[in-house]
């Protein structure tokens, strides 16, 4: 039996975000959609380790590299039959495991020599229903996201010019999950809440660094997250303009009450993935 050699993956993505957000549920859904092996609604539980897989992007999802091909290009129809694959890594979100898992994985994947297929993006999953209930969940999500953005900022600024090409390559999707629940905040509110909370974190850390000015000669400028909107407030838009780290907040749902809808709730996230490939 002949088998075509597996095409190299087009890029890698890392799933980050607080515990219970739905990372493993999303990972499992995308994996089962890709292999068409089984129904996607496997129960998940708190993850303690990371896992990774290779996924075929649904053929109906456009990829960014297609944009540069002419519609008249005869190779297009042929080329679009080759499945576009990407590498996806799930990480545990529990606060005690972040430094050793999610954050370490992020650093490793950003390392130019380490990653075989290029790191394209972070999918930061949040439970949009939990953010409306308790402030603790918001603080937790925002501080994790803040740390992730700071790592991406440092990398972007180390590449030289803030707008250098390499810096723009790692994008962040904030997946405002669980939109099937009526208690879920719409993506716009998720963005506003996260921006406000990140602003607080950024200011208090900035103050902390100023106070500890005993620190001789060590300009800690780059330890403070940028993205000031000109009125002293943090915004994702300003972060993109200033540092070149793009953050998109898009709503969706891994789960659906209607069996036939399973998978439809993640379509816009897959489109985001496609745009990074």
| Residues ≥6 apart with Cβ < 8 Å to 69 | 75, 76, 79
Question: Residue 15, Cβ neighbours under 10 Å: how many?
Answer: 27
Between 177 and 216, how does the x/- string for binding to ligand GTP read (CB under 6 A)? xx-xx-----------------------------------
157 and 110 in contact (C-beta within 8 Å)? Answer: no
Of the candidates 12, 28, 34, 47, which one interacts with Mg ion according to CB under 5 A?
47
Q: Is 132 in the site for ligand GTP (CB under 6 A)?
A: no
Note whether 101 binds ligand GTP by CB under 6 A: no
Query: Which stretch, 22-30, 52-60, 140-148, 190-198, contacts Mg ion (CB under 5 A)?
Result: 22-30
- Our finding on whether 223 is near ligand GTP (CB under 6 A) is no
According to CB under 6 A, which one of 14, 31, 32, 93 is a site residue for ligand GTP? 93
Could you say which of ligand GTP, Mg ion, none residue 254 binds, taking C-beta under 5 to 8 angstroms by partner kind? ligand GTP
User: Running DSSP on this structure, what letter comes out for residue 259?
Assistant: G
Sign of CA dihedral 63, 65, 69, 67: positive
Instruction: Indicate the residue among 25 and 156 with the shorter CB distance to ligand GTP.
Output: 25
Question: Between residues 142 and 240, which has the closer beta carbon with respect to ligand GTP?
Answer: 142
In contact, 204 and 212? CB cutoff 8 Å: no
In Å, how far are 33, 36, 169, 223 from 161, measured between CA atoms? Answer: 40, 44, 14, 17
Residue least distant from ligand GTP (Cβ): 93
Considering only residues 89, 155, 193, 255, which one is a binding residue for ligand GTP as defined by CB under 6 A? 255
105 near Mg ion, judged by CB under 5 A: no
In the list 9, 10, 12, 24, the residue contacting Mg ion (rule: CB under 5 A) is: 24
Tell me whether strands 119-127 and 12-16 are parallel, antiparallel or unpaired.
Answer: parallel
Segment near Mg ion (CB under 5 A), from 18-26, 146-154, 222-230, 240-248?
A: 18-26
Candidates 144, 118, 177, 157; CA nearest to 239 is 157
CA distance 153 to 120: 15
- Bridge partner residues of 16 (DSSP): 124
State the minimum distance, in angstroms, from the CB of residue 247 to ligand GTP. Answer: 19
State the Cα–Cα distance between residues 262 and 240, nearest whole angstrom.
Answer: 33
Give me the residues that bind ligand GTP (CB under 6 A), please. 17, 19-25, 44, 46-47, 92-94, 125, 177-178, 180-181, 253-255
């Amino acid at each position: 039996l002949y088998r075509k050699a597996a095409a190299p993956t087009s890029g890698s993505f890392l799933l980050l975000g607080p515990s219970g957000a739905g990372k493993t549920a999303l990972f499992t859904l995308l994996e089962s959609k890709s292999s068409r092996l089984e129904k996607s609604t496997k129960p998940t539980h708190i993850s303690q380790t990371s896992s990774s897989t290779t996924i075929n992007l649904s053929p109906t999802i456009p990829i960014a590299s297609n944009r540069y091909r002419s519609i008249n290009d005869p190779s297009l129809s042929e080329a679009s039959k080759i499945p576009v694959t990407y590498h996806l890594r799930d990480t545990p979100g529990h606060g005690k495991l972040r430094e050793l898992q999610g954050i370490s994985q992020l650093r490793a994947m950003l390392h130019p020599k380490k990653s075989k297929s290029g790191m394209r993006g972070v999918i930061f999953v949040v439970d949009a229903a939990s953010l409306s209930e308790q402030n603790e969940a918001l603080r937790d999500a925002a501080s994790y996201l803040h740390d992730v953005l700071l790592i991406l900022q440092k990398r972007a600024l180390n590449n030289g010019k803030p707008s250098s090409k390499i810096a723009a390559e790692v994008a962040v999707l904030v997946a405002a999950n669980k939109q099937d629940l009526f208690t879920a905040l719409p993506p716009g509110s998720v963005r506003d809440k996260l921006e406000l909370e990140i602003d607080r974190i950024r200011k208090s850390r900035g103050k902390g660094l100023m106070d500890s000015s005993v620190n001789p000669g060590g300009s800690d400028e780059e330890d403070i997250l940028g993205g000031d909107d000109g009125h002293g407030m943090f915004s994702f838009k300003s972060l993109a303009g200033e540092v070149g780290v793009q953050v998109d907040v898009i709503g969706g749902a891994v789960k659906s009450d209607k069996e036939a809808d399973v998978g439809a709730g993640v379509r816009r996230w897959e489109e985001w993935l496609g745009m990074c490939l």
